[in-house]
Amino acid sequence: MFNDLDPILHSQLRLSIVSILITVEEANFSFIKDTTKAAAGNISIQINKLQEAGYINVEKTFKNNYPNTAISITNKGREAFEEYVKSLQKYIYPQK
Amino acid sequence: MEERNFTPEESLLLISKTIEETKQKFQENGHIIVLWGSLTFSVFFLQYFFELVGLHKKFDIIWTCILFPLGAIYTFFYTRRKIKKNNIPKTVLGMTIEAMGWVVGMNLMILGFIFGDHLGNAIAPIFIIFLAMFLIVIGITIKFKPITIGGILMNLIGFGTFLVHPKYYGFSLMLGAVVGLILPGILLNKAKKKEYV
């Protein structure tokens, strides 16, 4: 039904992750987990898919001796998100 | 979060809900605004007090030099601690407000300490106008009307200050602090508490 919609973004959790990243410069894994309230394993899978699509950057470092996964949106991801929102609006308001 | 097919309407709703939730996590609770309002009020109240007891010239610069930098140090550490404790990521909006705060603050310090003699009494209304502009921008960006209105009123107080005798400039600063900082800060704090109830 929604053929024109980007299949990478047209998934609830992936869309939530990208919506968070569009608002911030960079977010770590636990912030995304707190905000989406999704399971860590599920988030990891969706982050990998978004990374493979080139929509996000994932940087694994250590912060105070603890592992820290910093995630940020790429320009490609930002453009895909904007395009996705435009497509959604076309579906909702087809006459515009 | 369950994966299922969802409609474009639901997608848009999810996007706006997530963005709103993310924004709310790092919104200021008014504490820092009330702090700066109280500091401004205290500094100029103390200047008045010392002027009354004849110690004005000796003490006004000391209060300004001690209280304002102390406020800046406290703001810096409070914000850092809040970011660390609540695991808050950096946002474009947050960085813009922070950068503006430092730029306005540094400019006011330079104007006061270096160009104070050139500006004379005009430093008081200039101080109010600078602060008011900063508050209007904050109010508009965080979409909190009391801060925007407080900023506009403070801006008017700033211009009005030029029309009164310089001996009343201290009162203008105190009034500006109450109208533009303390009252909107308390209202923001109340609004934030309501959100969490």
* A15 within a domain of the structure (yes/no): no
At residue B115 the predicted structure's pLDDT band, cuts being 50, 70 and 90, is confident
Most confident of B12-26, B35-49, B123-137: B123-137
Report pLDDT for B118.
85
The per-residue pLDDT for B170 is 85
Q: What is the ipTM of this complex?
A: 0.74
CA angle B105, B189, A38 (to 5 degrees): 100
How would residue B98 be classed by pLDDT, with cut points 50, 70 and 90? confident
A36-40, A50-54, B105-109: segment of lowest average pLDDT:
B105-109
In this predicted structure, the answer to whether residue B128 has a pLDDT above a threshold of 80 is yes
Give the B window 110-139 contacts with A, CB below 8 Å. Answer: none
Give residue A6's identity as a one-letter amino acid code.
Answer: D
Is A7 part of a structural domain of the chain? Answer: no
Do A25 and B92 lie within an 8 Å CB cutoff? yes
| Phi/psi of residue A63, nearest 5 degrees | -125, 115
Average pLDDT, chain A: 87
Report whether pLDDT(B80) > 60: yes
Are the beta carbons of B14 and A25 separated by less than 8 Å?
Answer: no
Chain A: closest CA distance from residue B19 (Å): 6
* Helix axes A12-23 and B8-25, enclosed angle (nearest 10): 40
**Is residue B12 within 8 angstroms of chain A, CB to CB?**
yes
Selected residue with higher pLDDT from B112 and B194: B112
CATH code (residue A35): 1.10.10.10
Q: Which pLDDT value is given to residue B117?
A: 82
What digits encode the pLDDT tens for the residues B145-170? 999 999 999 999 999 999 998 888 88
Closest Cβ–Cβ partner in B4, B12, B89 for A26: B89
Contact criterion met (CB < 8 Å) for B11 and A30: no
Cβ of A16 within 8 Å of Cβ of B4? The answer is no
User: Does the pLDDT value for residue B28 go beyond 70?
Assistant: no
A85 near B CB under 8 A: yes
> Could you tell me the CA-to-CA distances from B170 to A62, B45, B73, B98, B165 in Å, in that order?
51, 7, 25, 27, 10
Say if A11 falls within a structural domain: no
**Any idea how long chain B is?**
197
Residue A33 sits in which domain range? Answer: 26-90
CB contact (8 A) between residue A16 and residue B14: yes
Contact A26 B19 (CB under 8 A): no
Minimum-distance CB partner of B8 among A2, A23, A31: A2
pLDDT for the residue B32:
86
The answer on pLDDT for B59 being more than 80 is no
Record the pTM.
Answer: 0.68
Distance from CA of B194 to the nearest CA of A (A): 20
The answer to whether position A21 is within a domain reads no
Is residue B63's pLDDT more than 70?
Answer: no
Q: Is residue A40 part of a domain?
A: yes
- Which string of b and e fits B123-154 if b means at least 16 CB within 10 Å? bbbbbbbbbbbbbbbbbeebebebbbbbbbbb
Rounded Cα gap, residues B126 and B190, in angstroms: 30
Whole-number pLDDT of residue B3:
57
A80 CB near a chain B CB, below 8 Å?
A: no
| A36 in a structural domain | yes
pLDDT at A26 (0 to 100): 85
Number of domains in chain A: 1
Chain B hits for A31, Cβ within 8 Å: 87-89
Record: contact B22-A38, CB cut-off 8 A: no
Mean pLDDT value across residues B17-29: 70
Is the pLDDT at B85 greater than 60, yes or no? yes
pLDDT digits (tens, 9 = 90+) for A65-96: 778 888 999 999 999 999 998 888 888 777 65
More confident residue, B79 or B22: B79
Q: How far apart are CA B150 and CA B169, in angstroms?
A: 18
pLDDT at A43: 94
Average pLDDT of span A43-49:
94
Lowest mean pLDDT among A28-32, A58-62, B21-25, B149-153: B21-25
